[in-house]
Amino acid sequence: MPFYNTAELRIQHDEALGLLRAEWMGDRSLARLQPALVTLQQLAEVKKITHVQLELNSLPDLSVFDQIWLATHWMPTVLPLPLQQVVLVLGSARVYNVHAIETLLAALRGLIHFDVQFFAQSEAGLHWLVPDPAALARLLAEWQPAHNLPGAERDSFAEYPPACGPPSPLALPT
């Protein structure tokens, strides 16, 4: 199973399951949040991902600017993806981000066609996404060693495109 690393994200991909699992690994600055999320969206689009787990416990509190960017720029690029299930891993210590993301999801509720669930622990979220015990055990076994290594497989998604700025806003249907 390939792992795609950026300075901010550790990403696990399982093609057979249509699964993308990403953990925020960046520092306490959100300066690279937008390019990291653009890269994640592009990877999900190219790989035709249907199941996503975002582990956001180490993500700093989202600024109002980033929340607006998520609603007006990033989510419109995510909504057309063939997603079926999305897990957001945020523990009880991340109350601000839980509320910020819940507000974003509520604002877009009529446009979201996939199931979204919050989990406090990563493994519990993966249980929801991957009902097959053998596949789940394999994913967990692969994640932990790769999580502790400084390098992983790199491909074209491992580094941001040179001109990676915020995408142009898409018009939401009325």
Query: Residue 56: inside a domain, yes or no?
Result: yes
Q: Determine the residue type at 44.
A: A
What distance in Å separates the CA atoms of residue 104 and residue 127, rounded to the nearest whole number? 25
Query: Residue 153: inside a domain, yes or no?
Result: no
Query: Residue 51: inside a domain, yes or no?
Result: yes
Could you give the number of structural domains in the chain? 1
pTM of the model: 0.82
Tell me, what CATH number does 32's domain have? 3.30.750.24
What distance in Å separates the CA atoms of residue 158 and residue 13, rounded to the nearest whole number? 13
Residue 143, pLDDT score:
87
Residue 162, pLDDT score:
40
Q: Which tokens hold the place of 113?
A: 């066609």
Query: Residue 115: inside a domain, yes or no?
Result: yes
Instruction: Look up the domain containing 16 and give its range.
Output: 3-148
Query: Residue 88: inside a domain, yes or no?
Result: yes
What distance in Å separates the CA atoms of residue 73 and residue 149, rounded to the nearest whole number? 33
Residue 136, pLDDT score:
94
Query: Residue 112: inside a domain, yes or no?
Result: yes
Query: Residue 161: inside a domain, yes or no?
Result: no
Residue 145, pLDDT score:
67
User: Beta partners for 87?
Assistant: 53, 117
* Burial track 17-28 (b if 16+ CB lie within 10 A, e otherwise): bbbbbbbbbbee
SS3 for 162? coil
User: Beta partners for 12?
Assistant: 3, 21
pLDDT digit string (tens) for the chain, length 174 residues:
567 778 899 999 999 999 999 999 988 888 899 999 999 999 999 999 999 999 999 999 999 999 999 999 999 999 999 999 999 999 988 999 999 999 999 999 999 999 999 999 999 999 999 999 999 999 999 887 655 555 444 344 444 444 444 445 545 555
CB 12 within 8 A of CB 153: no
Q: What 8-state DSSP symbol labels residue 167?
A: P
Query: Residue 136: inside a domain, yes or no?
Result: yes
